[in-house]
Amino acid sequence: MKLIKNIQSTAKKVLEEEANAILKIVHLIDSEFENCVNHLLNLQGRLVVTGIGKSAIIAQKIVATLNSTGTPSLFMHAADAIHGDLGMIQSGDTVMCISRSGDTPEIKVLVPLIKRTNVKLIAMVSNPSSYLGKNADFLLHALAEKEADPLNLAPTTSTTVALALGDALAVCLLEYRGFSSKDFAKYHPGGALGKKLYLKVSDIYPNHELPIVNENSTVKESILEISSKRLGATAVLTENQELAGIITDGDVRRMLNKYDSFAGLFAKDIMTVTPKAISPDAYAVEALQIMQEKNITQLVVVEDNKPLGFVHLHDLLKEGLV
């Protein structure tokens, strides 16, 4: 039990130290950061992000975030840069170099080479007085006074701070570009996240044949229509082929509880007159929200008061929205 307590206290200490380090850099966001954002907003080329060791891994994550939020970016490993990859830097680009110390041998070799390409250099560094900090055009102060490990050696706090500062940079660029959910969907077409942003009701309901009866159809005909189309409901139409209501499995059960015989009953006698409906242009996630709020499993899709089809909860489950 004592060992478990020690494990928990160590974990909490690490999280507290890293959280406190992030809070400290909040006060370091200044006009220099703002100038850097404004430069990137007007950038004609790409943002090339580089680093070595664990900083290189953080650089890759920042590149992924920037690309997905509208800032064209690419990753260049600092070690590979001096062996040919420097050629990926083009006129109009800007390079951002991530380093805690800013004084590693690789950085000291790389910085002059970057400067020769006549592109702007952004330093994300803990020590502004370092070689990298002094030679940069823009400075992002990623202060990390101490790593979270007891030896103060393993990149922990410093990488967390750099990652958070990269997120702050990406969100500022996203916000001031007016980046919308539609833009986000364009870059995230896969998975449940993408589908929530782009999948519409019109992409789903045509997969099913529309179950329909008219107001004067018998209850038996209505039940057979529900059963044959396997959506748990049928639309009920007026003489003008407009939506009069729907009959669901629940309506049928309520009818059986209310009447001893349904021989003389018609669709109009048991239908729900004002069913929950949705437009074909609505997003599928809106259909899901309505179903969850109303505790129902299907929605009739309506346009100009004419039923087009149904979207069922099972469809949304199949698409991974739930």
Question: Contact 103/130 with Cβ under 8 angstroms?
Answer: yes
Alpha-carbon gap, residue 2 to 39, rounded angstroms: 53
β 120-125/138-141 pair status:
parallel
Q: Are 83 and 90 in contact (CB under 8 A)?
A: no
Q: Give me Rg for the CA atoms of the chain.
A: 30
Half-sphere exposure of 31 (CA within 13 A, CB side): 0
- H helix runs in the chain, sequence order: 2-26, 31-41, 54-68, 78-81, 105-116, 131-135, 157-177, 181-187, 191-198, 219-229, 249-258, 267-270, 284-294, 313-318
Amino acid at 222: S
Cβ atoms within 10 Å of 187's Cβ, excluding its own: 13
Nearest to 302 by CA among 321, 287, 320, 318: 287
Residue 159 token pair: 């990488």
**Is 314 flagged in the annotation as binding?**
no
Phi, psi of 314 (to 5 degrees): -60, -35
Contact 85, 112 (CB under 8 A): no
Q: Which two tokens stand for residue 70?
A: 């509208």
Contacts of 172 (CB under 8 A, 6+ apart): 37
- Residues belonging to the binding site are 77
- Residues belonging to the binding site for Zn(2+) are 77
